[in-house]
Amino acid sequence: MDIFSSKKLEKILPKIKVILEERIYPLEKNYLNLPFNEVADELEKIREIVKKKRIVEHSFE
């Protein structure tokens, strides 16, 4: 048994993985060597997508 596992985490983890695979990982090779302020806008767009889909809530109980 994983001590860090919970039903809530088991539910959202696949959704998080999809966001990472579809949105974050493709940006890595293009943005890896750029200053954060040059990639912040794109990351904020992705953050808003996550918020709208309500994938991750602010509190983990």
Distance between CA 61 and CA 49 in Å, rounded? 23
pTM over 0.75: no
The 10s digit of each residue's pLDDT in 2-52 is 666 788 888 888 888 998 999 889 888 888 889 999 999 999 998 888 888
Match 């806008």 to its residue by tokens: 41
Distance between CA 5 and CA 9 in Å, rounded? 6
Give Cα 41 distance to the centre of its chain: 15
Cα separations (Å) of 23 from 8, 16, 19, 29, 53?
22, 10, 5, 12, 14
CA angle centred on 32, ends 18 and 4, rounded to 5° = 45
